[in-house]
Amino acid sequence: MFIKILFMCLIICILIMLGEITKVKGFEKLKIERNIENNKVHQGESFTLETVVENNKWLPVSFLLIKQMLPNEFEYVENIIIEDAGSKFFHISMYNMMNYERRRRKYNVKVNKRGTYLFHYMEITVGDVFGFSAQTRDVDNFNEVVVYPEIMDLCDFRFKTVNSLGDNIIRRWIFKDPLYIKGIREYNTEDRMKDIHWKSSMKMNKLMVKEYDYTSERELVFIINVQCCDIAYSGILADRIESGIKIAATLAQKALKDSIPTGMWTNARIITRGSKTINKVIPAVNSFEKIMELCARMDYLTEVEFDKFLEINRKNFNRNETYVVITPYLNERCCNIFSKLAKQGINIKLIDISQESNLCKIQGIEKLDFIEEAK
């Protein structure tokens, strides 16, 4: 009887030791990676999230659980295991790995919100062969997904000054040299009365206007301000900022299609990892990709208050460029800076994206009041 008990105890000890070995040794030569295919997408587009697991040893891993903390803006096309922990979402996958085995799992993921998503957290749990106990470790596997803003039709934006929109909006905002008249065309509501060619109008029995051409290189710069009130970090108008970014991206695409060198400035904090540098002041060039990436990486928080931003970059304004300022807020100092720049011959246009469209009117600067995006 004693021998049987001793034998049973020996077997139990061996099983416990075997279970402990499979648990502890399970992490050895176990490689887990997460890869993103096409990590730069537009709103509503999908990308592929891939998990690669390699067991590079003779010992099988009977139980492996991978728990990934991912942004809650991600939408999964397939039916997968998701754990909801308040504001955090965890993607969970389980494996039973044989010796020297590699497995790949791919998931289609969609994102409907502009932004830059940084994530790195992976929790790896390895259990023993009998399921008695498990051991958990954290793995740092950094990934980034950049979601560009949606490019819309100009008609999808509602402004109080409706006659300022249309196919000619970019050309109207580019400085025209009145010394160079290239022809005559029919008048429309966007034209100035002083450009009417009266002789041609009388001859044609309808209003005709002089059409100007450009004697210097045309350039356009969008300036996006994300400061929404006196205290930069409070009162954030996320919806208005998003609309402003969409407006800038839409107009930038149209300008570049018209072969107009286009740039973008912003005082927003830029979301990026580590030492990677994203220029917040893109000069007027023909790079839509750089502009879209800057739009995607803009945070709602400011890096610097807007009046200080203007002072810092004041020397960069020049007469060969038209500046389209998209902003929900201006203080007296900002208005004074813009007023002085306008008097110096700097061509500035203002798109007011504040909720009440009540930003100050500045002499010599055309203001467009944004209402909302069309439903």
Residue 141: is its pLDDT beyond 50?
yes
Residue 263: is its pLDDT beyond 80?
yes
Alpha carbon 369 to chain centroid distance? 24
Name the helix (H) or strand (E) containing 55. Answer: strand 46-55
Q: Across the chain, how many H-helices and E-strands are there?
A: 7, 21
pLDDT digits (tens, 9 = 90+) for 49-96: 999 999 998 888 888 999 988 888 888 766 566 666 555 678 888 998
- For residue 70, what pLDDT is reported? 83
List the single range of 5-9, 53-57, 368-372 with lowest mean pLDDT.
Answer: 5-9
- For residue 188, what pLDDT is reported? 72
How many residues in total does the chain contain? 375
- For residue 219, what pLDDT is reported? 86
List the single range of 36-40, 69-73, 128-132, 155-159 with lowest mean pLDDT.
Answer: 128-132
30 by DSSP, 3-state: which?
A: strand
CB 127 within 8 A of CB 134: yes
Residue 181: is its pLDDT beyond 70?
no
Query: For residue 295, what pLDDT band results from cuts at 50, 70 and 90?
Result: very high
Threshold 0.95, pTM exceeds: no
Query: For residue 372, what pLDDT band results from cuts at 50, 70 and 90?
Result: confident
| Average pLDDT taken over every residue of the chain | 83
- For residue 147, what pLDDT is reported? 96
- For residue 161, what pLDDT is reported? 60
Query: For residue 320, what pLDDT band results from cuts at 50, 70 and 90?
Result: confident
Residue 300: is its pLDDT beyond 70?
yes
Q: Is 127 or 18 the better-scoring residue by pLDDT?
A: 127
Strands 321-327 and 347-352: parallel
pLDDT digits (tens, 9 = 90+) for 219-261: 899 999 999 999 888 889 999 999 999 999 999 998 888 788 9
CB 78 within 8 A of CB 91: no
Domains annotated on the chain, with CATH: 28-148 (2.60.40.290), 154-175+217-373 (3.40.50), 177-213 (no CATH)
**H-only helix segments in 128-176:** 169-173
- For residue 159, what pLDDT is reported? 81
Q: Is 110 or 24 the better-scoring residue by pLDDT?
A: 110
List the single range of 28-37, 208-217, 241-250, 331-340 with lowest mean pLDDT.
Answer: 208-217
- For residue 164, what pLDDT is reported? 47
| Percent of the chain's residues with pLDDT above 90 | 39
pLDDT digits (tens, 9 = 90+) for 333-354: 999 999 999 989 888 999 999 9
Dihedral, CA of residue 354, residue 359, residue 361 and residue 364, to nearest 10: -60
Query: For residue 275, what pLDDT band results from cuts at 50, 70 and 90?
Result: low
Distance CA 36, CA 39 (A): 6
Q: Is 156 or 82 the better-scoring residue by pLDDT?
A: 156
Q: Is 282 or 349 the better-scoring residue by pLDDT?
A: 349
Query: For residue 34, what pLDDT band results from cuts at 50, 70 and 90?
Result: very high
| Percent of the chain's residues with pLDDT above 70 | 80
CB 320 within 8 A of CB 284: no
